[in-house]
Amino acid sequence: NAMEGVLPQIHQLGPLLGTLVVGDGGEAAILTFNQKVELIQDFTGDLGRLTHALKLVDTAYSKSHLIDATLQSIRLLKNRPPERRRILLLISETRDQGSESTLRDAVAEAEVNNILIYSVNISRLHAAGQIFPGGLALDVKALILEIYGGIKTVVVENPLSVLTRYTGGRQYAFFKQHAFEDAITKIGEEIHGQYLLTYTPSNIQEQGYHRIRVELNRTDYTVRSRPGYYSMDY
């Protein structure tokens, strides 16, 4: 159980998470998805409560409910005040073995509600082959087309990467002792140092996958965006 090995570091993440990610005036909620999805701390800006909740995180040898947890987290986030940014941090293995919800449900809800997903991948062997400095060795467009196309035989071995990449977030690998601290620090720096660009599509009636490409004529900024979006009748 990979999660069991990183529990001590998760228990100590409270102060760093509160300072670098939540920040002044921000709020966070904490969910676990062990044998079931459980909200152990509702939204709060109280660093003491967040720290205490993280120390209660436990693990068991059970199936992963990654997609169920993602969907429940999105439902909590979309009910937050509209001026709040909606960011989800997943600390998990890549696989999902027990969810009742589908990856299509989670992808669609994240897309509609502008959820930005970051993740720390604790599946070391998977991470070694699938995470690279420039992105993910993963054809997200092909997978999204299959997911939205309703192909029942589609098998996504790495839903964590799909959720992260498709929402414009970033995935970090757990390779070393201070991986969590490094990831939280980088995520915090990115969240608080971003310019956000949005637009309203003019071809919203055209169903199917629409690619997004953002370019800058400056080299001192890094662009990170969704690779595209899928328009369909629900």
- For residues 163 and 196, give the distance between their C-alpha atoms in angstroms, rounded to a whole number: 19
pLDDT value of residue 133: 39
pLDDT value of residue 2: 60
Average pLDDT value for residue range 110-135:
67
- For residues 93 and 181, give the distance between their C-alpha atoms in angstroms, rounded to a whole number: 18
The CA angle 115-116-120, to the nearest 5 degrees, is 130
CB contact at 8 A, 208 and 200:
no
The three-state secondary structure class of 126 is helix
DSSP summary character for residue 205: T
Mean pLDDT across the chain, nearest whole number? 79
Give the residue, 71 or 149, on which the prediction is more confident: 71
Q: What percent of the chain has pLDDT over 70?
A: 82
The three-state secondary structure class of 212 is coil
Average pLDDT value for residue range 113-131:
69
- For residues 225 and 128, give the distance between their C-alpha atoms in angstroms, rounded to a whole number: 24
Reply yes or no on whether the pLDDT at 169 is more than 70.
yes
pTM, entire model: 0.80
Top-ranked range on mean pLDDT: pick from 19-33, 40-54, 83-97, 170-184:
40-54
Confidence band (pLDDT; 50, 70, 90) for 144? confident
Confidence band (pLDDT; 50, 70, 90) for 61? low
Average pLDDT value for residue range 138-152:
67
Tell me the angle at which helices 2-11 and 47-55 cross, rounded to the nearest 10 degrees: 150
